[in-house]
Amino acid sequence: MGRHAGDLALWSGLADGAETIVVPEADYEMSEIIARLKRGQERGKKHSIIIVAEGVGSGFEFGDKIKEEINVDTRVTVLGHIQRGGSPTGFDRVLASRLGAKAVDLLLDGKAGVTVGIEKNELVYNDIDEVLSRTHTIDMDMYKLSQQLSI
């Protein structure tokens, strides 16, 4: 999860207060990650959270590089599907109900081969072939926010 898109890493990193979020859609320099960790140490930080999307590389390799550069203990956690998704919130349940109802309505109206989604809090549907041909990008404003919050 995250092999081709960094959304899960980005949003979980924002929610968890990660110092660094590394996603396939944004360039990164290992030297800058190391420098950020060192600045944190100089300010007295005892720990840091780094989220690495699957499509970027191995979390274990990141941990090894960090340990090699600044000689700190690193712990890598590879999350499973349940941990990544967690228990659904009330909002999640209502959204799932809305999407499911829209899908049924579309089928009853004779529309097939479409996906159902939400854009700007409105239910929408799109041809599945059109959706599959899109190039996915993360919300760069949210990525920039993650960098601002981690200073």
Residue 93, SS3 per DSSP: helix
Which residue ranges does the chain devote to CATH 3.40.50.460? 7-85+137-149
Higher local confidence (pLDDT), 59 or 105? 105
For 67-84, how does the pLDDT look when each residue is reduced to its tens digit (9 = 90+)?
998 988 888 888 776 566
pLDDT over 70 at 7, yes or no: yes
DSSP-derived secondary structure letter, 89 = P
Residue 21, SS3 per DSSP: strand
pLDDT of 87: 79
Confidence label for 2 from pLDDT (cuts 50, 70 and 90) = low
What is the assigned CATH class of domain 7-85+137-149?
alpha beta
Query: Hey, how many other C-beta atoms are within 10 angstroms of the C-beta on 27?
Result: 8
Confirm if 49 and 9 have CB atoms less than 8 A apart.
no
Question: From CA 112, how far away is CA 110, in angstroms rounded?
Answer: 6
pLDDT of 64: 92
pLDDT of 1: 57
For 46-71, how does the pLDDT look when each residue is reduced to its tens digit (9 = 90+)?
888 999 998 888 889 989 999 998 98
**Which residues neighbour 18 within 8 Å (Cβ) at sequence distance 6 or greater?**
12, 49, 50, 51, 146, 150
DSSP-derived secondary structure letter, 126 = E
| N- to C-terminal Cα separation, the chain | 27
Question: From CA 49, how far away is CA 30, in angstroms rounded?
Answer: 15
